[in-house]
Amino acid sequence: MERSQLHRQVALTREALFDQGFLDEQFHQLEELQDDANPNFVEEVATLYYKDSARIIFNIEQALEKSPLDFNKLDSLMHQFKGSSTSIGAKKVKAESTLFREYCRAGNGEGCMKTFQQLKKEYAILKKKLETYFQLLRQVGPAQAACPPK
């Protein structure tokens, strides 16, 4: 693929992440922090997010297996997860986190279970889409990564 086609593919992939509601303004803010001194900043932040959030997801899964459910613990874990998701602009994941927390406050275990499954689905989809996006960015080079949105 020639360079101009790669640039176009990067732009279209990025635009789709926003148009499809996977990312929000916070992702733009992360991009603004990226510069020549740290051209892979956004990818590094996303990598740290996925590493840390995998641990939190595991802890939530463990808590959901207990009976009776400890809604305070679940809410606290999801609060951590939501904060991390918010920090990278994971819009759909953040929305599912909010819904999960509402079910915790209502003491609705079934709602928590269903929402958690949807959250994990959105989380996995975003991870795959971001991996594709970052792979394209690496092919184009660091100059494209720092370009502001149109």
The whole-model pTM stands at 0.89
3-145: which CATH topology? Four Helix Bundle (Hemerythrin (Met), subunit A) (1.20.120)
> pLDDT category, 36, cuts 50, 70, 90?
confident
Residue ranges covered by each domain of the chain: 3-145
CA distance 63 to 78: 11
Q: Tens digits of per-residue pLDDT, 83-141?
A: 999 999 999 999 999 999 999 999 999 999 999 999 999 999 999 999 999 999 999 87
Judge whether 71 and 63 are in contact, CB under 8 Å: no
